[in-house]
Amino acid sequence: GVAIDPAGVIYITDAGGAALRVCRFNNSPDSTVGGTVTTLAGGSSAGLVDGSLERALLNRPAGVAVARDGMIVVADTGNKLVRAVVGENRQQGAPLTSEAITMLRSTAEQMRRAGEPRWPYDPPVRPREIAATFGEIRGLLSSDPAESMGPWFHNGLDVPGGYGETVRLLRAERILRPLSVTSVDTARERIRFPLLGYAHLRVGRHADDREFSDERFIIGRDAAGRVARVRVRRGARFAAGDAIGTLNNQNHVHLIAGPAGAEMNALAALELPNVKDTVAPTIELNGVRLFDREWKEFQSIASTVTAVAERGPKTGPVAVQSDVRIVVQAYDQMDGNAIRRRLGLYRLGYQILNLDGTPVPQFAEPLMTISFENLPDDSAAVPLVYAEGSQAGYTEKTVFAYIITNTVRDREIREDFWRASTLPPGEYIVRVFAEDFFGNRTTRDVTVQVTASANSAGATS
């Protein structure tokens, strides 16, 4: 959509860029074409966030109008909302609360009930391997920006299949986007339905690029006969089980559940018959590490010289104080996974116990801080979930190091700490919890010695 305000400023909704852009022309008489295009709101990623222009996110904005009083009104199609850009201290509209946003979105449970129990391949009920889960890091997180790659959140479920295998729709859907098929003729070719997304396909074609005999797919070729465009008419209806394409050389489908910008954990939102996971997550060797605010690692108290001499190197409890970050390096596997396969976890948390195993006050229950029902709206949040060195899909190496003192759930993301110095000095147990989607749980205990911090002892800071 396009709108012009009385001053001649042009507002343009950029659906693909999830942004509201502004065009201003130079008014000086000797300038004929000079002008600027800037982004007024959105643009970093699709999403639903209210707030300042820098913070706000849109999802496929499709129309814009300028009201007589100067208020800019946007049809935010992907979010099914009319949004407004209002000046400060204006009382029109109201910022959305996270509860209101949750109510606007259908839940994974609702989506699951409306879908067909089947896999994206035939036969429909034959279980397949899951090769990657929702919320995993993609790319590499490094303190050296030159080395960093991405990172972003994996927003789907990877289901391997054979090269050229037919991929099928999991529920009845109707194409609503004018351009539903993107990255055509690349490894990332994908099709977007309102509630499902499929990537790594040849949409509407066989492995040899021959077209499906299905007139819903309109394949455009260049002069050399290469596939250049794939269109699906807006409004085209598809039934559960309909063939939508074949697997390309990635040999898996990246399956997305939920609307763009509001993706859900596909394991919760889709019913994959006979999917099975009896394998508990693995917390790696020395996989629990404790850091201070500045990311300096807390160290073990060395054991006595005699003990070292008698039984070799042996470490005592980790000495901690003040604000503690807990980092857990862990991964999951499911039945049927190859040994080398490392999947991301679903839920993580921690609990503080006395040495006799009773919880300390405030930790009567484990504090489950990370939960991947959905994802934070902003991929800039990746470093709040994953610690440095985390990586996947970048080299052969897969490392998931979760910062479990931060809170990442229900689309909220917050840096936080275990405030160790609220406890009397002494020894305690930090118990770490790592769970997969199917409720398999692994714990690991680390003994710590809480020492009085310099601040709490009243020393100068």
The closest alpha carbon to 404, from 369, 431, 373, belongs to 369
Tokens 């507002």 locate to 11
Alpha helix positions (H), 189-324: 266-269, 305-311
Q: How far is the CB of 42 from Zn ion (least distance, A)?
A: 25
Q: Binder to Zn ion among 112, 171, 254, 431 (CB under 5 A)? A: 254
Cα 386 from Cα 151, distance rounded (Å): 10
Local structure of 6: helix, strand or coil:
coil
> How many helical (H) and strand (E) elements, i.e. helices and strands, does the chain have?
5, 34
Pairing mode of beta strands 35-42, 19-25: antiparallel
From 83-91, 110-118, 254-262, 366-374, give the range in contact with Zn ion by CB under 5 A: 254-262
Q: How far is the CB of 138 from Zn ion (least distance, A)?
A: 8
From 11-19, 154-162, 203-211, 290-298, give the range in contact with Zn ion by CB under 5 A: 154-162
Q: Binder to Zn ion among 76, 136, 158, 189 (CB under 5 A)? A: 158
**Residue 159 or residue 184: which is nearer to Zn ion going by CB?**
159
Q: Are 198 and 245 in contact (CB under 8 A)?
A: yes
**Residue 56 or residue 140: which is nearer to Zn ion going by CB?**
140
Residues in the interface with Zn ion (CB under 5 A) total 3
Q: How far is the CB of 245 from Zn ion (least distance, A)?
A: 15
- Output phi, psi for 108, to 5 deg: -60, -35
Q: How far is the CB of 4 from Zn ion (least distance, A)?
A: 42
31-60: contacts with Zn ion (CB under 5 A):
none
346-385: contacts with Zn ion (CB under 5 A):
none
**Residue 2 CB contacts under 8 Å (≥ 6 apart), including other chains:** 10, 11, 12, 13, 64
**Residue 190 or residue 254: which is nearer to Zn ion going by CB?**
254
Q: Are 345 and 435 in contact (CB under 8 A)?
A: yes
**Residue 1 or residue 393: which is nearer to Zn ion going by CB?**
393
Local structure of 104: helix, strand or coil:
helix
**Residue 90 or residue 397: which is nearer to Zn ion going by CB?**
397
From 85-93, 246-254, 330-338, 447-455, give the range in contact with Zn ion by CB under 5 A: 246-254
Q: How far is the CB of 154 from Zn ion (least distance, A)?
A: 6
From 54-62, 81-89, 149-157, 234-242, give the range in contact with Zn ion by CB under 5 A: 149-157
**Secondary structure element (H or E) that encloses residue 421, with its range:** none
**Residue 156 or residue 261: which is nearer to Zn ion going by CB?**
156
Cα 343 from Cα 345, distance rounded (Å): 7
Amino acid at 154: H
Q: How far is the CB of 334 from Zn ion (least distance, A)?
A: 15
Alpha helix positions (H), 107-204: 108-114
**Residue 41 or residue 199: which is nearer to Zn ion going by CB?**
199
What residue number has its CB nearest to Zn ion?
Answer: 254
**Residue 400 or residue 418: which is nearer to Zn ion going by CB?**
400
Q: How far is the CB of 390 from Zn ion (least distance, A)?
A: 17
Percent composition of the chain: helix, strand, coil (DSSP 3-state, to 5): 10, 40, 55
**What are 7's two structure tokens?**
């001053």
Q: How far is the CB of 134 from Zn ion (least distance, A)?
A: 9
Q: Does 138 bind Zn ion (CB under 5 A)?
A: no
**Residue 19 or residue 266: which is nearer to Zn ion going by CB?**
266
Local structure of 18: helix, strand or coil:
coil
**Residue 254 or residue 431: which is nearer to Zn ion going by CB?**
254
Q: Are 121 and 169 in contact (CB under 8 A)?
A: no
Q: How far is the CB of 250 from Zn ion (least distance, A)?
A: 8
Q: How far is the CB of 376 from Zn ion (least distance, A)?
A: 18
The strand ranges marked E within 71-147 are 72-76, 81-85, 137-140
From 85-93, 152-160, 168-176, 304-312, give the range in contact with Zn ion by CB under 5 A: 152-160
Measured in Å, how far apart are the chain's first and last C-alpha atoms? 56
- Residue 244, CA atoms < 13 Å, CB-side half-sphere: 34
Q: How far is the CB of 454 from Zn ion (least distance, A)?
A: 47
**Secondary structure element (H or E) that encloses residue 154, with its range:** none
The closest alpha carbon to 406, from 420, 422, 387, belongs to 387
**Residue 158 or residue 173: which is nearer to Zn ion going by CB?**
158
Q: What is the DSSP letter of 298?
A: P
By the criterion CB under 5 A, which residues form the site for Zn ion?
156, 158, 254
